[in-house]
Structure 1
Amino acid sequence: MSENPNQPREYDVVLGGQNPPPVDGVVLGGLEGAKQRFASNDENYRLSALSQLINHRQEGWDLVIQALKDPSQGVQLAAYKLLQDISELKVKQAIL
């Protein structure tokens, strides 16, 4: 039986599609997982990503700063609340 090299094998990780991950599913962790959730069209995923991104200092803060211009006012407000206690000059300028 010949194996198709284009098909995932038993232990391969597969990312795919435009569908968001299931609410009770397992997603990537750390900064990469938070970035992926932040890029979602689903407001709830973006909101949950913010609280994780804020812990990743400069790179995470840059994304939370971007969230200040999110189409969702809820995401904007959550980003503002997370950023307001950070004393970094770039962050202070962004929330002004």
Structure 2
Amino acid sequence: MSKHDSPNEFDAVLGNQGIATQGSMILGGVEGIKQRLNSHSLQVKLAALEEAINYGTAGLQVLLAYLDDRDLQIQNRVYELLESRSEPFVREHLAKNGIRRYTRHKNRFELFELLGREGTPETVDIMMESLECDPHSSPYKLIDYTLGLVRTSVGEKRIEHYLFNGTQTQRNYAALYFKRLGEMGILTEAVKMGCIDRVQAFSK
């Protein structure tokens, strides 16, 4: 290699130097991925998304930022890359912020079932908020089922919060939850406070 071919102090090419073109700057790691995601080439973007999954939490955060990309191919690929991840913040983000598209996703049922079985206040929030997120997604039967999976004391307490403080739809589903548990005392209190009516509370 001649001295003219060797990198000097003013070169800023890192990562895959074999594809660098004259005058380009290619960075490695997460910053390099972010740079390639600004490319006009769909293939370059897709390749960058594939690489991001290997960078732990920082890479996952990059992927989550592209759930709302205008290109449906980008959105779909991000979902494919994230759907099997077990990190709670990924699952919660998919359910809460991606609910409009996630209602069409093949693993929606498995995701919400897992949230119901976890039964934390945060997962109850996700399920309840999904009832209000998109009226065209019809998640009602799914949420009815997955709320019924909540068996933790903290989860039950959070559902009680929605019975008295939620929207009318959220109150209705919270009432159904307690009706199935046979908790007539709390339903009677909710009727007295005007949160639900007697039909919702006591009908068979």
What TM-score results when the alignment is normalised by the length of structure 2? 0.35
Partners of 1:34 and 1:53 within 8 A in 2 = yes
Once the two structures are superposed, what CA deviation does each residue of 1:16-40 show, in whole Å capped at 9, x if it has no partner? xxxxxxxx82343332221211122
Deviation at 1:14, TM superposition (A): 4.8
Shift of 1:88: 0.5
Distance (Å, rounded) in 2 between the aligned partners of 1:89 and 1:47: 24
What is the RMSD of the two structures over their aligned residues, measured on CA atoms?
2.0
One-letter code of the match for 1:64?
L
What's 2:47 paired with? 48
Aligned residues: 79
Instruction: Note the residue ranges of structure 2 that are not aligned, 5 or more in a row.
Output: 1-6, 21-25, 96-204
Distance 1:94 1:42 in 2: 27
Find out whether 1:31 has 2:30 as its counterpart: yes
Q: Is the 8 A contact 1:38 1:46 kept in 2?
A: yes
CA contact (8 A) 1:43 1:72 kept: no
Deviating 4+ runs (over 4 angstroms): none
Give the letter aligned to residue 36 of structure 1: Q
Aligned to 2:79: 80
- Aligned counterpart, 2:64: 65
Deviation readout 1:24-60 (Å, 9 max, x if unpaired): 8234333222121112233222211101111111111
Q: Give TM-score scaled by structure 1 length.
A: 0.70
Between Structure 1 and Structure 2, the one with more helix by share is: 2
Offset, 1:95: 1.7
Distance (whole Å) between structure 1 residues aligned to residue 75 and residue 12 of structure 2: 32
Residues of 1 paired with 2:12 and 2:41: CA distance? 21
Larger Rg: 2
2-structure distance, mates of 1:60, 1:14: 22
Partner of 1:90: 89
- Larger RCO of the pair (alpha carbons < 8 Å, separation 6+): 1
